[in-house]
Amino acid sequence: MVELSSEIAQSEWDDFRWVLSLDGSSNQQGSGAGVILEGPNGVLIEQSLRFAFKAKNNQAEYETLITEILLAKEMGAKVLVAKSDSLLVIGQVTSEFQAKDPQMAAYRECVQELKRSFALFEVVHVPREQNARANLLAKLASSGKGGRQRIVIQETLKTPRAFVADHQVLEICK
């Protein structure tokens, strides 16, 4: 799915382009996500995000996508390409798949609101092999063994998004 604003010509996209690679992970030990956000001028942010709540894999993917869209927005990104190996989440965000579950529908709606912040927003499904670094960071977050690495930001989300409880998107997504 690509949305283009006339304020940025196609040839200028690379000057504003940020690439987000993400992967969620959920297992018996915990839930978390791995993220790599790459921006212009060599900006590189790697993040291991641990969830202090039990999240299913798709919920972990959406929580990660939303958190990192907000980070990209805060970093001033105008063009964002989000890459994930979650076929379901990418399919729902692109409207290729329906979000029948109320929780997934609420997450999808939040992403739809957030993408309006960008001149160009694209989500791309990538094979797991092309998402190895984000997968490794996700496993670090969900393992419960997260140490403090110097190059990795490690953070804990204490609760899922508030709108998930009542399946309504709140102001945070706008």
What is the reported pTM? Answer: 0.73
Q: Give the tokens for residue 33.
A: 């996500």
Cα 172 from Cα 105, distance rounded (Å): 16
| CATH class, 8-173 region | alpha beta
| Torsion angle (degrees, nearest 10) of CA 105, 106, 108, 112 | 130
Q: Give the tokens for residue 119.
A: 């001149």
Cα 129 from Cα 85, distance rounded (Å): 9
Neighbours of 103 (CB within 10 A): 18
Domain boundaries, given as residue ranges, for the chain: 8-173
pLDDT band (50, 70, 90) for residue 149:
very low
**Each residue of 64-100: pLDDT tens digit?**
899 889 989 998 999 999 999 899 999 999 999 999 9
The whole-number pLDDT of residue 31 equals 86
**Each residue of 11-59: pLDDT tens digit?**
566 667 899 998 888 888 888 888 889 998 888 888 888 888 888 889 9
Q: Does the pLDDT at position 127 exceed 80?
A: yes
